[in-house]
Amino acid sequence: MVDIRAAIFDFDGTLVDSMYVWEKVDRDFLSKRGIPVTAEYTDKVRSMFFETAAAYTKDEYNLPESVDEIMNIWLKMAHKEYAVNVRAKRYALQYLKELKVRGIMLGMATSNNPYLLMPCLENNGMDGLFDCICYTSEVGMNKSNPDIYVYTAKKLGVSPEECVVFEDIIEGLDSAKSVGMKTVAVYDSSNDAYMDRIKASASKFIKDYREVLAENMR
């Protein structure tokens, strides 16, 4: 990929193997309330930002807890996993460092929460590598809309056409592509059901970051 000045990364499922955390949180949270976790629910909340997912869960299951209470419960359930157990995908750290050496700016566009993300970055040696970290809550739209990617590019001071976006979900890949960004789909097993669509949407598909180490991007 030529003329790339910035790389924008999703976090969960793209840089770190963390999707199991949310599967566990969903299962434990709902089962404690006598509610089964369905594929429809998982599919619905997977690309939502945090507050929207909590509001949807409250309304869908008529829960007595407030949206803030649901978010706090989820955060407490997930925090230890992110801070201690969640690990970077293979070769992800090496690739981020390589891009920095080559003068490529690094941005993050995530639906996660700083309370979970920051200790996980530190535990995996990724803290301090990103020029900006942006959250979908800042733009008020999930990744079915390209606003988070446009916002991150603006924070980096580059045009969408000068960015490559690394994502694991089809919604993010399609949105980034719609505004002229190059896209790299990163394999995550949580998205196996969508793999054909993911491969068709992305400019490039990788199983792990070893496939793009030392790749010419300029």
Note the pLDDT tens digit of each residue in 30-85.
999 999 999 889 888 876 767 889 999 999 999 999 999 999 999 999 998 999 99
Q: Which tens digits make up the pLDDT trace of 143-194?
A: 999 999 999 999 999 999 999 999 999 999 999 999 999 999 999 998 998 8
Of the chain, the percentage scoring pLDDT greater than 90 comes to 83
Q: Which residues, 6 or more positions from 175, have their beta carbon under 8 angstroms from its beta carbon?
A: 143, 144, 145, 146, 148, 149
Architecture of domain 6-18+87-211: 3-Layer(aba) Sandwich (3.40)
Do the first three CATH levels of 6-18+87-211 and 19-85 match, i.e. the same topology? Answer: no
pLDDT given for residue 1 in this prediction: 57
**Count of H helices and E strands in the chain?**
10, 6
Domain ranges for the chain, please list them. 6-18+87-211, 19-85
Q: How far is CA 54 from CA 11, 31, 70, 78, 170, in A?
A: 19, 16, 6, 14, 22
User: What whole-number distance in Å separates Cα of residue 14 and Cα of residue 143?
Assistant: 14
Secondary structure element (H or E) that encloses residue 7, with its range: strand 6-9
* Among the four given CATH numbers 3.40.50, 1.10.3470, 1.10.150, 1.10.287, the one describing domain 19-85: 1.10.150
pLDDT given for residue 2 in this prediction: 61
> What's the whole-number average pLDDT of the chain?
93
pLDDT given for residue 218 in this prediction: 47
User: What whole-number distance in Å separates Cα of residue 71 and Cα of residue 51?
Assistant: 7
